[in-house]
Structure 1
Amino acid sequence: MKVLIVEDDPAIAANLYDYLEASGYEVDRASNGQTGLKMAVSDSWDAILLDLSLPRMDGLTLCRKLREEAHRDTPVLMLTAKDALDDKLAGFVHGADDYLVKPFSLKEVGARLGALIKRYRGGVATNELRFADVRLDLTTLAVERAGRVIRLQPKCLHLLRILMQSPGRVFGRTELETEVWGDELPGSDTLRAHIYTLRKALTQRGEAELIETVHGLGYRLVAGDTDAS
């Protein structure tokens, strides 16, 4: 998934860039409003992180132009040092989808960004996830593959849900560990062990492997046989 950062503070932009890239996002950055607007409308983005106070065009103007002139509905998470209610309301009026006040936690940015993208893609409304011949019921948490019931421990179930929400996307190891274990990050081999267990459960009857290891990055769901070493 592609995320555009429009932020003029080099340190903040670098932290956001590194965190999102490590989480498996494809990231680009603009350091002023004019460039940010040009990039926002010249490419397709899954979300935009937009600072409010920008040189050459402020964030409110950029967001308004993105909505009213370019007619883009890309999710916008506005980042600002201003925490007054009027400032927040102005952001929403001009087309922002969510609002974070600086200083903020990178984990919260990641969580809010994921929620925005999920709503944008319609992932919130459905009560089940499907990929290839695998079905996950989000209400009962029942898992089936080609009609075969698969019983998973909670952590493996959580991993499967995350992977099935965005098939094909590479999820970074740090992102998966944070999503599943929260602040109490596991040992270095714990995620690998859970992925192994999940793979084994999904392929117990010789079915095609669906979880691919992207070496040096993380994991993703792919259709057909993969090199899952």
Structure 2
Amino acid sequence: MSMSAVVLIIEDNRSLAESVGFYLESRGMEVDYAADGGEGYRLAVENRYDAIILDGHLPRMDGLDVVRALRREARISTPIIMATGRDTLDDKLAGLEDGVDDYLTKPFATQELEARLRAVIRRNRKEVARQVLKVGDLSFDPTCHRVRRGDRELELSPVSAKLLTILMRESPRVVSRREIERELWGDDLPDSDALRSHLYNVRKAIDRGFDTPLLHTVQSAGYRIADLPPGQRPPRVAAAVV
């Protein structure tokens, strides 16, 4: 069974990275590559991934240093599977304590890596779904699909509610159209106006009748939900364009 997910592989062994990447792509996933720790850290901070496969020994920035920087400095909670030749108990405990979600010792079977990858992605998606999301005076409990702004309860369709979940979960980050469409529909994209319609419905539900807009269009970049100071808010005319 395929899984719609975007995975970052940080691995300096090119043939291994390509082999794993081709396999995961054949299983329905999208894959990005980085050949060193510094580049891997940059990609992990600048993009959203469902999981990261990380080598322990890397040029420029060691694997555990990448984990520490992502968890402690960038505050990124993307699931990380460390796939490495470091196989002692102390190595594994150090990795898990620093924020690694799972540990796989080289050499490994690609099918086992896929199984572990699916497990951490499913677990992370369920954990995100259980959280009550809050931005400003807007709150959303995905477990019961209850959306409130201030003292007003809001109604959203299931797809618009999922769109709201994505934007609130990533707030205040700008989320690209491609990211949103992939998470909403996978590879089976609807017609080009579908996302536009759902963005309009979300904006109408959460912003109409309120003084402070929360859903913002960022020209040529994407969309975000954020409680911005007055000086940082786009003009209302621009914000209405989706």
* C-alpha contact (below 8 Å) 1:211/1:221 kept by paired residues: yes
Match of 2:164? 160
Match of 2:3 in 1: none
Over 3 Å counting, the alpha-carbon distance change for 1:125 and 1:202 in structure 2 is: closer
1:75 is displaced (CA, Å) by: 3.2
| In 2: Cα distance, 1:63 partner to 1:174 partner | 41
The separation in 1 between residues aligned to 2:143 and 2:54, in whole angstroms, is 41
Q: Which moved more, 1:218-227 or 1:5-14?
A: 5-14
CA contact (8 A) 1:82 1:101 kept: no
Deviations 1:23-50 (A, max 9, x none): 9338999877243426425622434655
**1-side partners of 2:54 and 2:100: how far apart?**
16
Equivalent-residue separation in structure 2 for 1:131 and 1:179 (angstroms): 21
Indicate yes or no: 2:59 matched with 1:24.
no
* 2:217 pairs with 1:196: no
Alignment of 1:123-162 (within 5 A): 123=128, 125-126=130-131, 128-162=132-166
Shift of 1:192: 2.3
- Per-residue deviation, residues 158-209 of structure 1 (Å, max 9, x unmatched): 1111222232133232221122223421222321221122112211113311
Higher RCO (C-alpha under 8 Å, 6+ residues apart) = 1
Aligned length: 197
Q: 1:69: how far off? A: 7.1
1:116 is aligned to 124
What are the within-5 Å matches in structure 2 for residues 1-20 of structure 1? 5-7=9-11, 8-9=13-14, 11=18, 12=21, 15-17=31-33
Aligned partners of 1:6 and 1:31 also within 8 Å: yes
Aligned partner of 1:55 in structure 2 is none
- Paired with 2:120 and 2:48, the residues of 1 have a C-alpha distance of 14
* C-alpha contact (below 8 Å) 1:171/1:218 kept by paired residues: yes
Q: How far is the alpha carbon of 1:60 from its aligned partner?
A: 4.6
- Superposed CA deviations along residues 118-163 of structure 1, whole A, max 9, x for unmatched, are 74xxx4554x322211122323312111111211122111111122
Give distance in 2, aligned partners of 1:83 and 1:29.
12
Is the 1:5–1:29 contact (alpha carbons within 8 Å) kept by the matching residues of 2?
yes
CA RMSD in angstroms comes to: 4.2
In the alignment, residue 100 of structure 1 is paired with which amino acid? Answer: E
Q: Which runs of 5+ in 2 are unaligned?
A: 1-6, 23-29, 35-42
Are 1:171 and 2:175 matched, yes or no? yes
Q: TM-score, normalised by structure 2?
A: 0.61
Does the 8 Å contact 1:199/1:211 carry over to 2? Answer: yes
| Residue aligning to 2:218 | 214
Q: TM-score, normalised by structure 1?
A: 0.63
